[in-house]
Structure 1
C-alpha cells in the first residue's frame, strides 16, 4: 500500500513532487545533489537522501541499478496523477489545430484520422480513436459467385466506397436467383443504411413473397445478417503517430519499444482496452502494468469517451506513450479532442 498524500510530511511531499516532475520532463532518475540545488527546497543532500529513502520504502520511488538517483514507481505515478497533478489546459494554438482538422470538409473518417494525427503530434504520443463502424448509405448491391456454395457480396456506397464480404449460399441457388436478389436489394435498399434496411426488409419480403423464389429470399436475409453482424462486432480503430513512440530516451530501450509496437499491431486488444474507458465521463489513465497488455513495455494510455449531445457514447479517443509522458498537459488535451470529436460523430 502506498502512503496517502495527506499522511506525508510537507518535506516528503515537496521532494516527491519534484522527483516526479523532473522524471516526467527528462526521463532520467533524480539524485539528491540535483534536488539540493533546486531553489526553495532548503534541504541538504543528506536530508534529501533520507526523505527519498523513506519514499522508496513506501513504494513510491525506486533506484534503478544504473544510477544513484531515484525515479517514481508506477504506484508513485498513480499517486501523483490522482492527487498532486496540476493540469494545464491546451493553448489557443493547440485548440485551433485540433478544431481545424475536425472542421475540414470531406468524409468524416478522414476528419477523425486527421484529428487523431494532430493529437499525436501535439502530445508526442501515438494517437488512438475507436469509433463505431459507420454504415454506408447503399447505392448498389451485387453478388459474384465464387463456388457452388459461396459468393462475394459487394456493396457500393453513395460516397463511392466499396465493401466486400464472402457469404455462404443457400442450397440450390442459381445464377438467376443471385441476379434477382442483387436487383431486388439494389432497387429496395438504395439510399438506406444497413440498419434501416434490416428494419424494413423482412416486411417487404413478406409482402412480395410471390415475386422472389425461396433461394433468393434466403440469400437476401443471410447476406444482410452476415454483413450487419460483421459491422457491429468490428469497431474501427485508428492509430496515428507510432513513430513518436521512439524518442531519444526510448531508443535506449529498443526491446521495450519493439514490444510496444508489437502490442499496437494487436488492434483487437487495444480496442478492448479503449472500450473499457467508455463508462463514466472523465478520462481514464492506465499506467504501465495496471493493464496487463502493457505490463512488459511499460506504457501508459489516456482514454476519454466521446459523447454525443444526447449522452450516447459514440467513440473513445486517447493516446499511448511511455509512462513518463506529461500527464498534466496530455490529459486536458485528450479531453478537448474528445469534445471536438463529439461534434463530428453526433
Structure 2
C-alpha cells in the first residue's frame, strides 16, 4: 500500500518518538517533531487515514496514537535509517569472546553478547550437525564396558558408554578403531551404517557387532550432543514494560523459551534467508504475541549456512541499533567458527 511522502514522514516521526518514550503520540507533538509545516488539523486527518489503513491505533485512554505491527513493518522495511554503530568497539568485544574454546562455547558467548549489546534476549540456533566424525577411539573401562570417544570435524569430543556382550581385549579395540578411522573417517555415522552392512564380512562376527554398536551410539551422541537453541538474557525481558505488564503475554513468552519448538521453526525459516530478517508481532504465526519482535540473521561455517542467531525483544525496540548488532555478530560468529574448523 503506497503512502505519500507526508504520511511516511509522519508515520516515521510517530514510531521513532513512540520507540523512544513509549507514550502515545498526539497531533500537536507530531506537528512539532515532524519538521512538516502542517496544521494539527491536517495532521489529524493524515493520522485518521493511517489508522484506517491499520498502521496506527488509538489507545482508549489517550488522544495520541501508537504504531501497530503493520506500522512497524512499513517502518523497518522502508523508513528506517540503520545506525552505523562503532564496529571497532563491538568487534573487539566480540573477537575476544568468539575465539575462545570449543564451538559450543563460542555459540554460547554469541548469545550472551547479543543479549548484553541489545539489552534483550539473545538467541542462537546451534549448527545443524551432520553426524560426521573425524575419528573414534575405544577405551576398555572394565569387562564388557567400553568408552567410545568420538572426535568431530571441529575437534569437539563426545563420549558414550558401550555395554557389550563380549569382553574385548585392548588390541581388538585398537584394531576395530583403526578399521573404522581408516575406512570411514570424515563420513557421517549414517553413511557408515550403510557401508558397514556390505563391508564387514572380512571381520569376525564379534568385531562386526562391536562396530555396529559403536556406530549406533556414535550417531545418537552426535545428534543429541548439543542444545538446539541457546538463549541468553531472558530475564532482561522482565524489565520491558510492554512485555511484563501483561501476565498472560509474559507467560506465553516464557512458554516459548521453555518449549523452543516454535523458536526452532522461526530460526529454521530464517536460515534460508540471506542477511537480517525481522519478524514483528503477530504478523507471523511463528511469533506468539503482538508485543514481541525477533531480529534474526543466518551464520555460516566456511561459506555454508549452518544456523541462525538473533535478538528477541519488544515490538517497541530500537531497530536501527539492534539490526547492526545482529548483523555484525552473525558475521563474526561465522568467522570464528570457520576459523576454528579450518
TM-score range, shorter chain: 0.7 to 0.9
> 2:292 aligns to what?
299
> 2:89 aligns to what?
93
Q: 1:193 to 1:19 in 2, by over 3 A?
A: farther
Instruction: Give me the whole-angstrom Cα distance separating, in 1, the residues matched to 2:185 and 2:314.
Output: 40
> 1:71 aligns to what?
66
Instruction: Give me the whole-angstrom Cα distance separating, in 2, the residues matched to 1:182 and 1:290.
Output: 57
> 2:275 aligns to what?
282
SS of 1:246's partner is helix
Q: 1:48 to 1:224 in 2, by over 3 A?
A: same
Matched, 1:48 2:48: no
Q: 1:236 aligns with which of 221, 228, 234?
A: 228
> 1:148 aligns to what?
none
Shift in Å, 1:66 = 3.3
> 1:224 aligns to what?
215
Q: Which moved more, 1:65-74 or 1:333-342?
A: 65-74
Instruction: Give me the whole-angstrom Cα distance separating, in 2, the residues matched to 1:180 and 1:290.
Output: 62
Q: Is the 8 A contact 1:117 1:127 kept in 2?
A: yes
Q: Is the 8 A contact 1:133 1:236 kept in 2?
A: no
Q: Which runs of 5+ in 2 are unaligned?
A: none
Instruction: Give me the whole-angstrom Cα distance separating, in 1, the residues matched to 2:77 and 2:129.
Output: 34
Q: 1:298 to 1:223 in 2, by over 3 A?
A: farther
Instruction: Give me the whole-angstrom Cα distance separating, in 1, the residues matched to 2:233 and 2:172.
Output: 44
Q: Is the 8 A contact 2:301 2:334 kept in 1?
A: yes
> 2:112 aligns to what?
117
TM-score, normalization by structure 2: 0.80
Q: 1:271 aligns with which of 244, 264, 267?
A: 264
Shift in Å, 1:38 = 2.5
Instruction: Give me the whole-angstrom Cα distance separating, in 1, the residues matched to 2:207 and 2:128.
Output: 30
Instruction: Give me the whole-angstrom Cα distance separating, in 2, the residues matched to 1:48 and 1:32.
Output: 6
Q: Is the 8 A contact 2:253 2:288 kept in 1?
A: no
Instruction: Give me the whole-angstrom Cα distance separating, in 2, the residues matched to 1:174 and 1:330.
Output: 56
Shift in Å, 1:62 = 0.9
TM-score, normalization by structure 1: 0.79
Q: 1:202 to 1:276 in 2, by over 3 A?
A: closer
Q: 1:210 to 1:133 in 2, by over 3 A?
A: closer
Q: Deviations over 1:40-97 (max 9, x none)?
A: 2333333322221110001111112333321111111111111111111221322322
Q: Which moved more, 1:55-64 or 1:290-299?
A: 290-299
Q: Deviations over 1:208-230 (max 9, x none)?
A: 645432x5524522541454266
Matched, 1:254 2:247: yes
Q: Which moved more, 1:187-196 or 1:17-26?
A: 187-196
